[in-house]
Amino acid sequence: MDNLSLRDGIELAVTAEKLGADFYKTLAKRFKENAEISELFSILAKDEEAHEAQFTALLEKVPAGGKKPKSDQEYQLLTAAAMSEFFTGAEGPMKDIGKIKTRDDAFARAFALEKASLFYYHAMQECLGENEILKAIISAEKSHLVSVMKYLVTGAKMRGLADTW
């Protein structure tokens, strides 16, 4: 993490979205006996795949090389976000996915994943400045976070990312 460039940060985001999609696909299969829960995780997996494509497009716009964030503070924030539980933690949300047995555990892990992703993408925005692709991804991640929390707290059926409380 000592030499993290903006390009590295976006490449890490591409990888994170791939991992997130795989995580949600696994949960969709695990909860296939409950159509509502399986559908929610399938929706989240598809969104993560769309984010991966968006970050890949963004990556093509960032020049190769060792360009660093604009300031030391931005660099430190991006590095801290990259080192968060999602990316490196022994107890991170994707750790021991086979041990997830209950609906509540699955949603708690999904919430932790979305929260860590949102933190990382906000750090990227600090470094990159205004960017429409990143802005759209952050908006979608916020919706994921709220939707997963709503489902976790209320047990309500998720009808899509436009759901409101």
pLDDT digits (tens, 9 = 90+) for 4-44: 667 777 888 888 888 889 999 999 999 999 888 898 899 98
pLDDT, residue 88, reads: 55
pLDDT, residue 89, reads: 57
Please calculate the CA angle 22-90-92 and round it to the nearest 5 degrees. 45
pLDDT, residue 103, reads: 85
CB-based contacts of 25-34 (< 8 A; 24+ apart in sequence) = 26/97, 27/97, 27/100, 27/106, 27/110, 30/100, 30/106, 31/103, 31/106, 34/103
Supply 59's token pair.
């990556």
pLDDT, residue 14, reads: 87
- pTM attached to this predicted model: 0.78
pLDDT, residue 165, reads: 47
What gap in Å lies between CA 13 and CA 117, rounded to an integer? 8
Q: Which domains does the chain have, with CATH numbers?
A: 6-154 (1.20.1260.10)
pLDDT, residue 1, reads: 45
The 8-class DSSP code of residue 97 comes to G
Could you tell me the end-to-end alpha-carbon distance of the chain, in angstroms, rounded to an integer? 39
Residue ranges of the chain with per-residue pLDDT less than 70:
1-5, 65-71, 75, 82-94, 155-165
